[in-house]
Structure 1
Amino acid sequence: MQIAQDSVALIDYTLTNDAGEVIDSSNGGEPLAYLHGHQNIIPGLEKALLGKAVGDSLKVSIAPAEGYGEVNPSLVENVPSNLFQGVEQIEVGMQFHAQTGGGMQVITVTAVEGDTVTVDGNHPLAGQTLHFDVTVKEVRAASQEELDHGHVHGAGGHHH
């Protein structure tokens, strides 16, 4: 069976940046399970996996436009530290959920200077070319429940 719309695929992968540093990997763990065609993974990787079958391996580089997007400068903002009530010490790298006009968003602290905190609402991998080394481990038809929910259930997937 080939990976197609509404199929479940399990993949082993290693994700690296332009410098060759490993960002994420399924190595030593369970393969990543996703429902093809349901935006469970970035668009560029999903396109590269279309038509692949068990045992197929590929190396693919995904440009930001097909990954986590370009960096959007309007998502970087300086805010007063008193907005972080209940947080004893605000440090670079901390992440928070913030309510925005577009809904809930994860923001990352990128600088702290006195009473001013710089936060970034861009995805941490925005603006980066992503390099994937992938092997397809399993492909199967999705269950009706998985299709209804828009994600994989069971091994490697979501557990309700």
Structure 2
Amino acid sequence: MIQSSATCSLPSSAATTELAQRIARILLPGDVVLLEGPIGAGKTHFARSLIQSLLEVPEDVPSPTFTLVQTYDVSCGELWHADLYRLSHVDEVEELGLITAFDDAICLVEWPDRLEELRPDTALTLRLSLDETTDDARHAELSWTSEGWAQRLEGILS
């Protein structure tokens, strides 16, 4: 498998929100977006912005840090937002039902390193990192191995 990637600068939280909204428009059931980065990098902000842009009726989008998974009904089906930070073993991922959701729902997964060998090969990975020049700025690196992502992301990062 050949890995492809693209990077962009996100000078503000508004820019992070805009990227999330643009990516939301191309997502389909069965898509998995893995959100990587240190604490405070903006993973939950990105996920919250993406989810809110897909909701037909606005609602609060809490972080699933303690619930582990939040589900939402969006126009194209179901969306799962998972935060795996508190998991201690990969077996807990299967207990959540997340592996089945990978096939049928749009899935946003924070702390995907906890997936270990269960990490989907077809996922889009978004790695957020802090920009030291200002508190609000971030860098985003998107990477993928599935050929379909390159075409779908065309124009998203420009």
TM-score (norm 1): 0.21
Greater share of residues in helix = 2
Bigger fraction of residues in strand: 1
TM-score normalised to structure 2 length: 0.21
